[in-house]
Amino acid sequence: MDKSNIAYCGVDCSACPDRTGGKCPGCRETEWQKGDECMPVSCCRRRGITCCGECGDFPCPDMKGFYEESDPHRLAYARMYLESRRGRETIVHIAFLQLLPGGSLSQQLERGMAACREAKEKGADIALFPEMWSIGYAVPQDKDELEAASLGPDSMFIKCFQSLARELEMAIGITYLEAYGAFSRNSLVLFDMHGRRALDYSKVHTCDFSDERVLARGNVFPVCELETSKGALKVGAMICYDREFPESARLLMLGGAELIIVPNACPMEINRLSQLRGRAYENMLAIATCNYPSGQPDCNGHSTLFDGVAYLPDGNGSRDTCVFEAGSEPGVFVGGFDLDMLRAYRKSEVHGNAYRRPELYGRLINERVEEPFIRKDRRI
């Protein structure tokens, strides 16, 4: 970081009219009389450091109120936070298991476990499967066939991935057709690096206009604290069609999610990719989507990772939040995002829950549906 225009506290002096107008040379150039200098100047000089971000006590209680005064001060906090983490950034690596399915449950288990081992070899902290991996997203429409293909949440298939997560010390998000009482659901289980069950999620927005009309729907968007080799982070999930409703990601953000994982089974073209970019941007969180590759019906790969950080403290303009995109071919692909950078960004930027007006959003929970959105196959 070029500190020539950055004050000891992290404020960008180049944007100050007193500095640009020649009235103030900046705190680094000012010849302070003893006792006249501000606290960050005296403290940094006493400690022999060039900015607050180099201090082992950052952020100290004395500066807490200062960094909350205004947008420039909050941006200064983000700048100093990143400086404090320099050389020890926390990059969370996610493996996208963009695989073609086999023809049986045993093949899905074998291919899935081999892919997880490959993901670990490639340095992944989290491995993510595409949607309903246990059946390769081939949803039986016959009731008896559907029941036969459904697995209990503690079935041997699920337990194998739980044991594998513990063995590899890598979080695994495995997807499956879940037996749910007399029904079946499109579900995901996320195991942490110790093999502990961190998250169970069932698809809320099922595709009732297609094969998923025979499935029961989930009814909650939970958020968990996931232990990984890079530390703990807050994780939620959406499954495929869930991502097309902004409320899904918004509820997860309000629940504290820093990362949303998205198992998928559809073409990831420009509009759906734009949805993911928008969800990450407006909620200031990372979104990792794992799709089936080309060769799977109605799929084209292009698994992606958006890190949600549109602006850097010392950057010019916005940056591309897509930090990884796979091609269309099958494979195990790894992308990463900087969790510390995301956390600093969320403390200083204006999106997420910073300036919402929920008292005006009552219409969002109105259950009445009017033309042109009435559909005969919509479930009540």
Indicate the SS3 state at residue 90: coil
pLDDT at residue 2, rounded to an integer: 60
> Treating both helix axes as pointing N-terminal to C-terminal, what angle do 71-84 and 339-348 enclose, rounded to 10 degrees?
160
**Side by side, which strands form the sheet with 126-128?**
197-202, 183-191, 171-180, 126-128, 91-98, 331-338
DSSP H or E segment with residue 278:
helix 270-283
Sole residue written with tokens 């590759």? 293
Separation between Cα atoms, residue 168 and residue 163, nearest integer Å: 9
pLDDT at residue 335, rounded to an integer: 96
Nearest to 190 by CA among 235, 144, 230: 235
Low-confidence ranges of the chain (pLDDT < 70): 1-4, 14-23, 32-36, 71, 85-89, 314-315
The Cβ of residue 211 has, within 10 Å, a number of other Cβ atoms equal to 14
For 28, the token pair is 């680094």
Residue 229: left (phi > 0), alpha (psi -120 to 50), or beta?
Answer: alpha
For 70-95, write each residue's pLDDT tens digit.
Answer: 767 777 777 777 777 666 668 999 99
pLDDT at residue 77, rounded to an integer: 77
pLDDT at residue 7, rounded to an integer: 84
Per domain, the residue ranges of the chain are: 13-84, 91-363
pLDDT at residue 84, rounded to an integer: 74
pLDDT at residue 35, rounded to an integer: 65
pLDDT at residue 95, rounded to an integer: 98
For residues 265 and 296, is the Cβ–Cβ distance under 8 A? yes
For residues 268 and 262, is the Cβ–Cβ distance under 8 A? no
pLDDT at residue 51, rounded to an integer: 85
pLDDT at residue 4, rounded to an integer: 63
Calculate the CA 153 to chain-centre distance: 24
Angle at 25 between CA 19 and CA 30, to 5 degrees: 145
Four-CA torsion 300, 236, 213, 146, nearest 10 degrees: 90
For 281-332, write each residue's pLDDT tens digit.
Answer: 999 999 999 999 999 999 999 999 999 999 987 667 889 999 999 999 999 9
Q: What pTM was computed for the model?
A: 0.82
- The count of C-alpha atoms lying within 13 angstroms of the C-alpha of 210, restricted to the half-sphere facing its C-beta, is 10
Task: Spell out the alpha helix ranges (H) of the chain.
Answer: 17-20, 39-47, 71-84, 105-121, 143-149, 156-168, 246-254, 270-283, 339-348
For residues 211 and 236, is the Cβ–Cβ distance under 8 A? no
What fold characterizes domain 91-363?
Answer: Nitrilase/N-carbamoyl-D-aminoacid amidohydrolase (3.60.110)
Four-CA torsion 251, 333, 162, 253, nearest 10 degrees: -10
